[in-house]
Amino acid sequence: MSILLKKALKLSIVPAVLMIAGKFIGVIALIIAYNLNFEVGNELNGIFSTQIFLADESSTLFVNSISDMAMLIILGIPTLYMIVRTTILQSATENPRTIAKVVKFNMLKWVTSSNSTFLQIFIWTSFLLISSVITISNSLQGDSYTWVGITGGVLTLLSIWGLIKTFEIETDKVYPNSNNHSYY
């Protein structure tokens, strides 16, 4: 088995678990916090037929929206953190002004090494993308607030932009940008 596949499997477990946990904890926490009347049934004929039923439409809309938001935040924050850290680290190695800024904000320790690889950022972004697609589709169908769908869209755009940036950084390591050097 290839190392890449092994690593991809290892790295996918945490975001997969967090995605389910974010939605599930969001739903359960809201039901408990607002003391909502709910029922768990299995009346649908799907792959997983178990469903959570709520008594009225406004509660359903509220619980669905906020739990979608919780899922997006749980996946979005670590993804953006990894992207920002990798980008700052790379910028710091190339640009002395960035190092000066990093020192000024006392963040030198934070960016001295990057534990995030492109594969890790790619996997986390993929999960964030899936979550955003679900959230946007819910918003379009009227099952979730519009602002949740918009937030999902913005987060996805930001993380895709970050992913491309990280990809550029990685390719620059293999094929250094010729414009920055005077080899010729």
Partner 1 sequence: MAPINKKRKFKEVFGKIIEPVALGLLALLFIIPTITVINLEPITKNLKEFTDILGVTTSNQVLVDLVGGTHEIVTSEKIYREENGSYIYNAKLTKRGADFYSKPILVLDNRSEEDKEISFSGGTLNPTRTEIGLIINDQTYRLQRSTGESYTVDILLRPQTKYEVYLTVESAVGIQFSEDFEMKIAAE
- Judged by CB under 8 A, the chain residues 140 through 169 that form the site for partner 1 are 141-143
One residue of 83, 87, 125, 127 binding partner 1 per CB under 8 A: 127
Nearest distance in Å: CB 19, partner 1? 4
Place of tokens 């979608």: 68
**Nearer to partner 1 (CB atom), residue 14 or residue 88:** 14
Give the C-alpha distances (Å, rounded to integers) separating 14 from 38, 57, 113: 29, 33, 21
Nearest to 120 by CA among 172, 162, 152: 162
Q: How far apart are CA 99 and CA 28, in angstroms?
A: 45
Residue 40 pairs with which residues in a beta bridge? 52
Closest alpha carbon to 164 in 108, 112, 121: 121
The residue from 33, 35, 48, 96 that contacts partner 1 (CB under 8 A) is: 48
Q: Is residue 20 a contact residue for partner 1 (CB under 8 A)?
A: yes
Chain centroid offset of residue 174 CA: 27
Cα separation, 104 vs 96, whole angstroms: 12
Q: Is 1 in the site for partner 1 (CB under 8 A)?
A: yes
Instruction: Kindly indicate which of the ranges 12-20, 76-84, 87-95, 97-105 contains the residues binding partner 1, using the contact rule CB under 8 A.
Output: 12-20
Instruction: Give the one residue of 86, 120, 125, 131 binding partner 1; rule: CB under 8 A.
Output: 131
CB 58 within 8 A of CB 48: no
CA 162 to CA 158: how far, in whole Å?
6
Residue 6 interacts with partner 1 (CB under 8 A): yes or no? yes
**117 touches partner 1 (CB under 8 A):** no
Give the binding site for partner 1 (CB under 8 A).
1-2, 5-6, 8-9, 12-13, 16-17, 19-20, 23-24, 27, 37-39, 41, 43-48, 50-57, 59-60, 63-64, 67, 71, 126-127, 130-131, 134, 138, 141-143
